[in-house]
Amino acid sequence: MANGWSTKRVLITVRTYPVPAHRGIEVSCTAGVTSDGNWIRLFPIPYRFLNPDQRFTKYQWIEVDATRARGDARPESYTLRIDTIRRCELIGSAQQWRARKDLILPLRRSSLCEIASDRKAGGSTLGIFRPASITRLAITPAKPPYWTPQEENLLRQQLLGFETASRTPLEKIPVEFRYQFRCAETTCNGHRIMCTRLIPLAALQDSDRHAGRPIKTSRNSRTQPRFGFDPPALDIDQPGTTG
């Protein structure tokens, strides 16, 4: 394929919750592993605007035409032709994710410290690792809990080629999730990273055990029944517990 474009076969492993963007109204950061065993980042993908037969899930193979992203020095970053997305087979979770592990675990790194060091040296910016210990999951109210006027203007844009697509308003998740953990290296000072993976909005309501006042997720709305709670700051120090 000419001009640096080629067809990539990608196993999708990461898809974040959409955010307003100058390129594409709203986009999800999407990443995966290519058929030749390398990490790849595909951007921008206006996932909610895709045709139903193009909407892939995590751990599904897709084929797509892509080329190295301009203005992005990260080695895994690629721009894609959205109309070339083709869904392929889904990798199941049988035998405790055996088929998925066989594809992903060969890329496992020893720690986030190692990944960060490699990134600073101009290497990989994506990776999978196992923390030595997770000390806390902090859940705090987003600031602000609604889109800013600039973000709302971006969401009102018309996306070329998707003018007739459904325009269900994109809701902002009114809470932020941050993991605190340490690597095994003795030099590790600890890490605190935000979790931005796609989370079903209903799960926030179903799992909340701290119901309170409805919160605002839009400057023009008094309440937001989809969430129905005003989340306090929570610290989850162990699985299944809240503080």
Q: Is the pLDDT of residue 204 over 50?
A: no
pLDDT of residue 161: 61
* Of 13, 11, 18, 4, the residue nearest 170 (C-alpha): 18
Better-scored residue on pLDDT, 41 or 222: 41
Q: Is the pLDDT of residue 208 over 50?
A: no
Q: What is the pLDDT of residues 29-74, one digit of tens each?
A: 899 999 999 999 998 898 988 999 999 999 999 999 999 999 899 9
DSSP 205: H
Residue 47 · residue 60 · CB < 8 Å: no
pLDDT of residue 212: 36
Domain extents for the chain?
6-94, 133-236
pLDDT of residue 209: 39
Q: Is the pLDDT of residue 105 over 80?
A: yes
* Of 166, 17, 13, 184, the residue nearest 100 (C-alpha): 13
Q: Is the pLDDT of residue 211 over 50?
A: no
Residues 201 and 204: their CA atoms lie apart, in Å, by 6
Q: What rounded mean pLDDT belongs to the chain?
A: 81
pTM of the model: 0.79
- Cα separations in angstroms, 238 against 9, 71, 133, 144, 243: 38, 41, 11, 28, 10
Residue 188 · residue 180 · CB < 8 Å: no
Better-scored residue on pLDDT, 196 or 100: 100
Q: What is the pLDDT of residues 18-31, one digit of tens each?
A: 888 877 678 888 99
Length of the chain, in residues: 243
Q: How confident is the model at residue 2 (pLDDT cuts 50, 70, 90)?
A: low
pLDDT of residue 101: 95
Residues 85 and 81: their CA atoms lie apart, in Å, by 7
pLDDT of residue 118: 93
Q: What is the pLDDT of residues 151-188, one digit of tens each?
A: 988 888 765 566 556 668 888 989 999 999 999 999 99
Q: Is the pLDDT of residue 199 over 60?
A: no
Q: Is the pLDDT of residue 114 over 90?
A: yes
Question: What topology does CATH give the domain 6-94?
Answer: OB fold (Dihydrolipoamide Acetyltransferase, E2P) (2.40.50)
Q: Is the pLDDT of residue 197 over 80?
A: no
